[in-house]
Protein backbone atom coordinates (compact mmCIF):
# COMPACT_ATOMS: atom_id res chain seq x y z
CA UNK A 1 0.00 0.00 0.00
CA UNK A 2 1.13 3.54 -0.74
CA UNK A 3 2.88 5.30 2.12
CA UNK A 4 0.51 7.91 3.46
CA UNK A 5 3.07 10.17 5.16
CA UNK A 6 3.60 11.30 8.73
CA UNK A 7 2.26 14.86 8.41
CA UNK A 8 -1.24 14.98 6.99
CA UNK A 9 -3.08 18.30 7.01
CA UNK A 10 -6.82 18.22 7.59
CA UNK A 11 -7.55 20.77 4.89
CA UNK A 12 -10.20 23.47 5.15
CA UNK A 13 -12.80 23.68 2.41
CA UNK A 14 -12.77 27.15 0.82
CA UNK A 15 -16.13 28.78 0.13
CA UNK A 16 -16.94 31.82 -1.96
CA UNK A 17 -19.00 34.81 -0.83
CA UNK A 18 -22.22 32.90 -1.56
CA UNK A 19 -21.13 29.88 0.46
CA UNK A 20 -20.41 27.68 -2.56
CA UNK A 21 -17.32 25.47 -2.63
CA UNK A 22 -14.46 27.38 -4.25
CA UNK A 23 -12.77 24.48 -6.03
CA UNK A 24 -9.94 26.48 -7.61
CA UNK A 25 -8.95 27.89 -4.23
CA UNK A 26 -9.07 24.37 -2.80
CA UNK A 27 -6.60 23.29 -5.48
CA UNK A 28 -4.38 26.28 -4.72
CA UNK A 29 -4.45 25.47 -1.03
CA UNK A 30 -3.72 21.78 -1.60
CA UNK A 31 -0.64 22.52 -3.69
CA UNK A 32 0.57 25.10 -1.19
CA UNK A 33 0.20 22.78 1.79
CA UNK A 34 2.25 20.10 0.08
CA UNK A 35 4.87 22.76 -0.58
CA UNK A 36 5.06 23.77 3.08
CA UNK A 37 5.70 20.50 4.89
CA UNK A 38 2.61 18.33 4.49
CA UNK A 39 3.02 14.80 3.10
CA UNK A 40 -0.67 14.47 2.34
CA UNK A 41 -4.10 15.97 2.84
CA UNK A 42 -7.31 14.89 4.50
CA UNK A 43 -10.10 16.24 2.32
CA UNK A 44 -13.63 16.61 3.71
CA UNK A 45 -12.76 15.83 7.29
CA UNK A 46 -13.87 17.75 10.36
CA UNK A 47 -11.72 20.73 9.34
CA UNK A 48 -13.19 20.51 5.86
CA UNK A 49 -16.72 20.89 7.28
CA UNK A 50 -17.78 17.46 6.03
CA UNK A 51 -21.22 17.48 7.74
CA UNK A 52 -22.29 20.45 5.61
CA UNK A 53 -20.97 19.15 2.27
CA UNK A 54 -23.22 17.18 -0.05
CA UNK A 55 -21.98 13.89 -1.50
CA UNK A 56 -21.70 15.59 -4.88
CA UNK A 57 -19.55 18.36 -3.42
CA UNK A 58 -17.33 15.86 -1.63
CA UNK A 59 -16.74 13.77 -4.73
CA UNK A 60 -15.94 16.80 -6.87
CA UNK A 61 -13.62 18.10 -4.14
CA UNK A 62 -11.78 14.75 -4.06
CA UNK A 63 -11.41 14.85 -7.84
CA UNK A 64 -10.30 18.49 -8.05
CA UNK A 65 -7.73 18.20 -5.28
CA UNK A 66 -6.39 14.91 -6.67
CA UNK A 67 -6.00 16.48 -10.11
CA UNK A 68 -4.15 19.43 -8.59
CA UNK A 69 -1.58 17.44 -6.60
CA UNK A 70 -1.25 14.29 -8.76
CA UNK A 71 1.39 12.13 -7.05
CA UNK A 72 3.04 14.92 -5.03
CA UNK A 73 1.16 13.85 -1.90
CA UNK A 74 -1.53 11.53 -0.66
CA UNK A 75 -5.22 12.34 -0.70
CA UNK A 76 -7.14 10.86 2.22
CA UNK A 77 -10.86 11.18 1.61
CA UNK A 78 -13.31 11.70 4.46
CA UNK A 79 -16.05 9.22 3.54
CA UNK A 80 -17.26 8.06 6.96
CA UNK A 81 -20.50 9.16 8.58
CA UNK A 82 -23.19 7.89 10.96
CA UNK A 83 -24.63 5.71 8.17
CA UNK A 84 -22.76 2.55 7.20
CA UNK A 85 -24.55 2.21 3.86
CA UNK A 86 -23.96 5.83 2.86
CA UNK A 87 -20.32 5.56 3.95
CA UNK A 88 -19.86 2.47 1.79
CA UNK A 89 -21.43 4.15 -1.22
CA UNK A 90 -19.31 7.29 -0.91
CA UNK A 91 -16.19 5.19 -0.34
CA UNK A 92 -16.81 3.21 -3.54
CA UNK A 93 -17.36 6.39 -5.55
CA UNK A 94 -14.23 8.00 -4.13
CA UNK A 95 -12.13 4.97 -5.08
CA UNK A 96 -13.19 5.45 -8.72
CA UNK A 97 -11.85 9.02 -8.54
CA UNK A 98 -8.40 7.83 -7.51
CA UNK A 99 -7.99 8.91 -3.89
CA UNK A 100 -5.24 7.16 -1.96
CA UNK A 101 -6.98 6.29 1.31
CA UNK A 102 -9.96 7.07 3.54
CA UNK A 103 -10.53 8.47 6.98
CA UNK A 104 -13.59 7.04 8.73
CA UNK A 105 -15.01 8.87 11.72
CA UNK A 106 -16.76 7.08 14.57
CA UNK A 107 -20.49 7.33 13.85
CA UNK A 108 -21.98 10.31 15.63
CA UNK A 109 -25.43 10.91 17.10
CA UNK A 110 -26.70 7.31 16.95
CA UNK A 111 -24.33 6.00 19.67
CA UNK A 112 -23.55 2.45 18.47
CA UNK A 113 -22.15 -0.29 20.69
CA UNK A 114 -18.56 -1.45 20.29
CA UNK A 115 -19.84 -4.42 18.30
CA UNK A 116 -21.76 -2.02 16.09
CA UNK A 117 -18.61 0.05 15.58
CA UNK A 118 -16.64 -3.04 14.63
CA UNK A 119 -19.24 -4.12 12.09
CA UNK A 120 -19.52 -0.55 10.72
CA UNK A 121 -15.81 -0.16 10.05
CA UNK A 122 -15.41 -3.74 8.85
CA UNK A 123 -18.24 -3.22 6.38
CA UNK A 124 -16.71 -0.03 4.96
CA UNK A 125 -13.25 -1.61 4.72
CA UNK A 126 -14.73 -4.55 2.80
CA UNK A 127 -16.25 -2.13 0.26
CA UNK A 128 -12.82 -0.95 -0.94
CA UNK A 129 -9.32 -2.14 -1.67
CA UNK A 130 -7.74 1.08 -0.39
CA UNK A 131 -6.27 1.81 3.07
CA UNK A 132 -8.65 3.02 5.78
CA UNK A 133 -7.78 5.14 8.81
CA UNK A 134 -10.18 5.11 11.75
CA UNK A 135 -10.95 8.43 13.46
CA UNK A 136 -11.73 8.49 17.17
CA UNK A 137 -12.91 11.89 18.42
CA UNK A 138 -15.30 11.31 21.35
CA UNK A 139 -15.58 15.04 22.12
CA UNK A 140 -17.58 15.30 18.88
CA UNK A 141 -19.10 11.84 18.48
CA UNK A 142 -19.88 11.09 22.17
CA UNK A 143 -18.91 7.45 21.60
CA UNK A 144 -15.32 6.38 22.29
CA UNK A 145 -13.76 3.76 20.02
CA UNK A 146 -12.41 1.40 22.66
CA UNK A 147 -8.87 0.04 22.68
CA UNK A 148 -10.07 -3.54 22.25
CA UNK A 149 -12.17 -2.57 19.23
CA UNK A 150 -9.27 -0.77 17.55
CA UNK A 151 -6.97 -3.74 18.13
CA UNK A 152 -9.54 -6.10 16.65
CA UNK A 153 -10.04 -3.82 13.64
CA UNK A 154 -6.26 -3.59 13.13
CA UNK A 155 -6.34 -7.24 12.10
CA UNK A 156 -8.27 -6.30 8.94
CA UNK A 157 -5.70 -5.92 6.16
CA UNK A 158 -6.74 -2.54 4.78
CA UNK A 159 -7.51 -0.88 8.12
CA UNK A 160 -4.05 0.57 8.50
CA UNK A 161 -4.29 3.15 11.26
CA UNK A 162 -6.24 5.39 13.58
CA UNK A 163 -6.39 9.13 14.09
CA UNK A 164 -6.65 9.36 17.87
CA UNK A 165 -8.21 12.57 19.18
CA UNK A 166 -9.46 11.23 22.50
CA UNK A 167 -6.61 12.90 24.41
CA UNK A 168 -6.37 9.71 26.48
CA UNK A 169 -2.66 8.88 26.37
CA UNK A 170 -3.22 5.67 28.33
CA UNK A 171 -5.66 4.42 25.72
CA UNK A 172 -3.34 5.49 22.91
CA UNK A 173 -0.39 3.66 24.49
CA UNK A 174 -2.49 0.51 24.81
CA UNK A 175 -3.46 0.70 21.12
CA UNK A 176 0.17 1.11 20.06
CA UNK A 177 1.12 -1.82 22.26
CA UNK A 178 -1.65 -4.16 21.15
CA UNK A 179 -2.40 -3.36 17.50
CA UNK A 180 -1.08 -5.41 14.62
CA UNK A 181 2.35 -4.85 13.09
CA UNK A 182 2.51 -1.77 10.92
CA UNK A 183 -0.67 -0.23 12.32
CA UNK A 184 -0.24 3.56 12.31
CA UNK A 185 -1.38 5.76 15.19
CA UNK A 186 -1.76 9.40 14.25
CA UNK A 187 -2.27 12.22 16.71
CA UNK A 188 -5.65 13.82 16.14
CA UNK A 189 -4.82 16.84 18.32
CA UNK A 190 -1.96 19.15 17.34
CA UNK A 191 -0.95 19.56 20.96
CA UNK A 192 -0.64 15.79 21.46
CA UNK A 193 1.71 15.13 18.57
CA UNK A 194 5.01 14.97 20.44
CA UNK A 195 3.64 12.95 23.40
CA UNK A 196 2.11 10.44 20.97
CA UNK A 197 5.36 10.17 19.03
CA UNK A 198 7.02 9.50 22.37
CA UNK A 199 4.66 6.58 22.94
CA UNK A 200 5.53 5.11 19.55
CA UNK A 201 2.93 6.87 17.41
CA UNK A 202 3.50 7.55 13.74
CA UNK A 203 2.46 11.11 12.91
CA UNK A 204 -0.28 13.71 13.02
CA UNK A 205 -3.40 14.72 11.15
CA UNK A 206 -3.11 18.39 11.93
CA UNK A 207 -4.72 21.79 11.56
CA UNK A 208 -1.90 24.14 12.60
CA UNK A 209 0.10 22.80 9.64
CA UNK A 210 -1.91 25.21 7.46
CA UNK A 211 0.36 27.88 8.99
CA UNK A 212 3.42 26.14 10.44
CA UNK A 213 3.75 22.91 8.49
CA UNK A 214 7.51 23.15 8.10
CA UNK A 215 7.97 23.74 11.82
CA UNK A 216 5.80 20.72 12.70
CA UNK A 217 7.75 18.57 10.26
CA UNK A 218 11.01 19.85 11.78
CA UNK A 219 9.75 18.90 15.24
CA UNK A 220 8.86 15.41 14.11
CA UNK A 221 12.12 14.89 12.26
CA UNK A 222 14.11 16.10 15.26
CA UNK A 223 12.36 13.63 17.55
CA UNK A 224 12.74 10.73 15.13
CA UNK A 225 16.44 11.55 14.78
CA UNK A 226 16.93 11.41 18.54
CA UNK A 227 17.12 15.18 19.09
CA UNK A 228 14.45 15.11 21.75
CA UNK A 229 15.36 18.43 23.37
CA UNK A 230 15.10 20.24 20.04
CA UNK A 231 11.75 18.60 19.34
CA UNK A 232 10.44 19.52 22.78
CA UNK A 233 11.50 23.15 22.35
CA UNK A 234 9.62 23.42 19.05
CA UNK A 235 6.59 21.72 20.61
CA UNK A 236 6.53 24.17 23.53
CA UNK A 237 6.99 27.12 21.19
CA UNK A 238 4.03 26.11 19.03
CA UNK A 239 1.58 25.31 21.85
CA UNK A 240 0.19 28.86 22.33
CA UNK A 241 -0.53 29.04 18.60
CA UNK A 242 -2.22 25.64 18.69
CA UNK A 243 -4.33 26.76 21.64
CA UNK A 244 -5.43 29.90 19.77
CA UNK A 245 -6.44 27.81 16.76
CA UNK A 246 -8.82 25.83 18.95
CA UNK A 247 -10.15 28.66 21.11
CA UNK A 248 -13.56 28.00 19.55
CA UNK A 249 -14.44 24.80 17.69
CA UNK A 250 -12.38 23.92 14.64
CA UNK A 251 -12.39 24.99 11.81
CA UNK A 252 -13.67 28.44 12.76
CA UNK A 253 -10.29 29.75 14.00
CA UNK A 254 -8.10 28.38 11.18
CA UNK A 255 -10.44 29.74 8.50
CA UNK A 256 -10.46 33.10 10.26
CA UNK A 257 -6.65 33.05 10.49
CA UNK A 258 -6.21 32.25 6.81
CA UNK A 259 -8.61 35.03 5.86
CA UNK A 260 -6.73 37.47 8.13
CA UNK A 261 -3.43 36.52 6.53
CA UNK A 262 -4.73 37.24 3.04
CA UNK A 263 -5.57 33.77 1.75
CA UNK A 264 -9.37 33.84 1.37
CA UNK A 265 -11.22 30.65 2.28
CA UNK A 266 -14.58 32.20 3.12
CA UNK A 267 -16.74 31.93 6.19
CA UNK A 268 -17.72 28.56 7.66
CA UNK A 269 -21.09 27.20 6.67
CA UNK A 270 -23.88 27.35 9.19
CA UNK A 271 -24.34 26.19 11.86
CA UNK A 272 -20.70 27.23 12.28
CA UNK A 273 -19.96 30.95 12.30
CA UNK A 274 -16.91 33.17 12.40
CA UNK A 275 -15.25 33.47 15.85
CA UNK A 276 -16.82 35.90 18.30
CA UNK A 277 -15.11 39.25 18.75
CA UNK A 278 -13.07 38.27 21.82
CA UNK A 279 -11.86 35.03 20.24
CA UNK A 280 -11.04 36.84 17.00
CA UNK A 281 -8.90 39.34 18.90
CA UNK A 282 -6.97 36.51 20.56
CA UNK A 283 -6.36 34.82 17.20
CA UNK A 284 -5.16 38.09 15.66
CA UNK A 285 -2.88 38.83 18.62
CA UNK A 286 -1.39 35.35 18.45
CA UNK A 287 -0.68 35.69 14.73
CA UNK A 288 1.08 39.00 15.48
CA UNK A 289 3.04 37.53 18.42
CA UNK A 290 4.32 34.71 16.22
CA UNK A 291 4.90 37.12 13.34
CA UNK A 292 3.01 34.62 11.20
CA UNK A 293 2.75 35.46 7.56
CA UNK A 294 1.41 33.25 4.82
CA UNK A 295 3.67 30.23 4.30
CA UNK A 296 5.74 30.86 1.18
CA UNK A 297 3.77 28.58 -1.19
CA UNK A 298 0.55 30.29 -0.13
CA UNK A 299 2.14 33.69 -0.65
CA UNK A 300 3.38 32.73 -4.12
CA UNK A 301 -0.08 31.56 -5.15
CA UNK A 302 -1.73 34.67 -3.71
CA UNK A 303 0.68 36.93 -5.61
CA UNK A 304 0.34 35.01 -8.88
DSSP conformation letters of 27-46: HHHHHHHHTTT-SEEEESST
Domains of the chain with bracketed CATH:
7-227 (3.20.20.70)
> What is the model's pLDDT at position 92?
98
The distance in angstroms from the start CA to the end CA of the chain is: 36
Q: What are phi and psi of 187, to 5 degrees?
A: -70, 135
> What is the model's pLDDT at position 297?
64
In whole angstroms, give the CA distance from residue 214 to residue 262.
19
Mean pLDDT within 213-227 = 97
Mean pLDDT within 204-232 = 97
With CA atoms as reference, report the closest residue to 25 among 264, 273, 294. 264
Q: What is the pTM of this model?
A: 0.95
Mean pLDDT within 27-42 = 96
Catalogue the E-assigned strands of 197-260. 203-206
Mean pLDDT within 278-287 = 96
Mean pLDDT within 93-111 = 97
Active-site residue, 256 included: no
CB 36 within 8 A of CB 51: no
Categorize the per-residue pLDDT at 304 as very low, low, confident or very high, splitting at 50, 70 and 90: very low
- On the question of pLDDT at 102 being above 50, the answer is yes
Of 27, 58, 152, 163, which residue is the catalytic one? Answer: 163
Of 23, 135, 202, 256, which residue is the catalytic one? Answer: 135
What average pLDDT does the structure give for the chain?
95
Active-site residue, 290 included: no
Question: Could you read off the pLDDT of 49-71 as tens digits, one per residue?
Answer: 999 999 999 999 999 999 999 99
Categorize the per-residue pLDDT at 235 as very low, low, confident or very high, splitting at 50, 70 and 90: very high
Amino acid sequence: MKKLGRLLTAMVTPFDAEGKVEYQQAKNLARALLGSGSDGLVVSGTTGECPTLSSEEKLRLFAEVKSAVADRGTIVAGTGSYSTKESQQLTKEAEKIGVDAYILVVPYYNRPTQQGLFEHFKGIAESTTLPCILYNVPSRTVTNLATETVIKLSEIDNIVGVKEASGNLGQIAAIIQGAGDGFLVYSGNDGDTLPILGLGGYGVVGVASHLVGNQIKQMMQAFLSGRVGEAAAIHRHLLPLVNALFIVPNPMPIKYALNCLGFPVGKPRLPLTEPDEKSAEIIQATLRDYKIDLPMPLKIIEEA
